[in-house]
Amino acid sequence: MVRDIQFSDLEQLIFKIGFTKVPTTGSQQIYQYPLSGTLVILPAYEQQAYVQPVHLVAVRRVLVENGLINTNFFDSFLEKVAS
């Protein structure tokens, strides 16, 4: 699942699913799914920076394990954005 995905594309997906950005004073970015309280926590990437594969795997796992997307949807997103 190693793909060149810019942070702006990943953030758009997170927002599209229904997450909101939580204000923080740290160097991380926190997104919360209001209905369940599910959190996605990422380093403070610049919008055009490429997301490290470990973070893509972590986001995929959080989204799938909490029933917010299925694996095929996330993999299709990666394929479309990386092409």
Q: Which CATH class is domain 7-82?
A: alpha beta
CA terminus-to-terminus distance, the chain: 13
78 versus 36: which is more confidently predicted? 36
Q: What confidence tens digit (pLDDT) does each residue in 3-52 have? A: 689 999 999 999 999 999 999 998 999 999 999 999 999 999 999 999 99
pLDDT surpassing 60 at residue 70: yes
Domain ranges of the chain: 7-82
Which residues lie below 8 Å from residue 61, measured CB to CB, with a gap of 6+?
none
- Label residue 10 exposed, middle or buried (CB < 10 Å: 0-12, 13-18, 19+): buried
